[in-house]
Amino acid sequence: MPKYSLVGYDSSETSRRAYRFAMALARACKGRVRVVSVLQVTQGGADACALVMTDSASERTRETLLELRALDSDTDALVDLEITHGSPGDILLNQVKQHPIDHIVIGHTERGALGRWLLGSVSEEVLAGAHVPVTVVR
């Protein structure tokens, strides 16, 4: 039974479903949930990116906590939240190396072939690289 599940959260409907699933599992298994939300900055220099990340992370943390609390009343008791920046797939896979995560729950949004080619698929990257069980929620 999973004791520490990781959820990639981006406020999408599928990530909300993934979060609800992970919370139900945590309650059933007496575990915890680590929620990671990845910020991405695509333009600007290093100084601009650092400033945006700092401001965005603080605001995003407040917003995400409010969203998670609205989805599940046990958020404060069962959740560890991290807002970070980088490539979502890489960040999620590195979380497993840095924390005692034994299960990943991730939402999957259907994209066409062009969308996958342009943007990639985080769920596919995590499925290919994870060394712990992965549940994909649609």
Distance CA 24, CA 30 (A): 10
Question: pTM of the predicted model, to two decimals?
Answer: 0.85
Domain assignments of the chain as residue spans, ordered by start: 4-137
CATH superfamily of 4-137: HUPs (3.40.50.620)
Contact 23, 16 (CB under 8 A): no
Query: pLDDT tens, 69-81?
Result: 999 999 999 999 9
Q: Residues of the chain whose pLDDT is less than 50?
A: 47-48, 51, 114-119
Q: Reading across the β-sheet that carries 103-107, which strands appear in turn?
A: 79-85, 32-39, 4-8, 103-107, 134-137
